[in-house]
Amino acid sequence: MVINIGENNSLFNQYIAEIRDQEVQQDSMRFRRNLERVGEIFAYEISKKMEFYSTEVTTPLGIAEVPVLSAQPVIASIMRAGLPIHQGFLNSFDKAENIFITAYRKYEKDGTFQINFEHISGPTVDEKEVILVDPMLATGASMVLAYNALLRKGTPRHTHIVSVIASKEGIEYMQKHLVGKKYTLWTGAIDSELTVKSYIVPGLGDAGDLAYGAKE
């Protein structure tokens, strides 16, 4: 299932506009904060699909029955670009466990590249609800790699995969390589084109560089 929350008009699209805007991008703090805000909105929308139970809360004037989360999710991020969105989710799911995954593109002389997995750090995900976040879903290869890395920590009950902007090619790649897996893909926009270096067009550029500075 693919859910594009940018299809409906809301404040969410204001943040997407600023994240894409090359002028606003000059302020890296603003860029990070907008990614964080987007993460908070994704968290709110995803929470509607999670399990709740009713509990009694004592107020100064009586007792109120309120639905609350049955369990906090595990939030998993691909470093480094996923960190601002991760914080947005953590602002909402403030008791969540956390996983961090390191992976990178290794470029060859001819311009082609491979996605290399390095390390995963975090708790077991067995029978837990997991939220896996990365700002961009370009080719889809890094997200599939990250999902498979999660399986080293157990088998999630369900995985919510979150990308602020996705390409059609990346979505098709995931659908092809995650057949039979229990996941939902959440995105804020779907773009149709990839460059020869596999950047999304119109996209927004390199989210990691915009958030934390250019890498060598």
pLDDT of residue 172: 95
Q: Express as a percent the part of the chain with pLDDT over 70.
A: 94
Mean pLDDT value of segment 125-135: 95
Pairwise CA distance, residues 84 & 108, whole Å: 29
pLDDT of residue 214: 82
How confident is residue 109, by pLDDT bands cut at 50, 70 and 90?
low
Q: Does residue 108 carry a pLDDT above 70? A: no
pTM score, two decimals?
0.91
Pairwise CA distance, residues 154 & 189, whole Å: 30
Q: Where are the domains of the chain?
A: 2-49+66-212
Q: Does residue 216 carry a pLDDT above 80? A: no
Q: Does residue 159 carry a pLDDT above 70? A: yes
pLDDT of residue 55: 97
Hunting for tokens 């470093």 — which residue is that? 79
pLDDT of residue 80: 83
Give the CA radius of gyration of the chain: 18
Minimum mean pLDDT among 109-113, 115-119, 131-135, 171-175: which range?
109-113
The CB density around residue 54, as the number of other CB atoms within 10 Å, is: 8
Mean pLDDT value of segment 8-30: 96
Rounded to a whole number of angstroms, the distance between the first and last alpha carbons of the chain is 37
The CATH label, of 3.90.180.10, 3.30.750.200, 3.40.640.10, 3.40.50.2020, for the domain at 2-49+66-212 is 3.40.50.2020
pLDDT of residue 158: 96
Pairwise CA distance, residues 157 & 177, whole Å: 19
Residue 209 is classified by DSSP as H
pLDDT of residue 104: 67
- Higher pLDDT: 63 or 117? It is 63
Q: Does residue 113 carry a pLDDT above 70? A: no
Q: Which of 51, 189, 57, 60 is nearest to 128 (CA)?
A: 51
Element of type H or E holding 159: strand 158-167
pLDDT of residue 100: 93
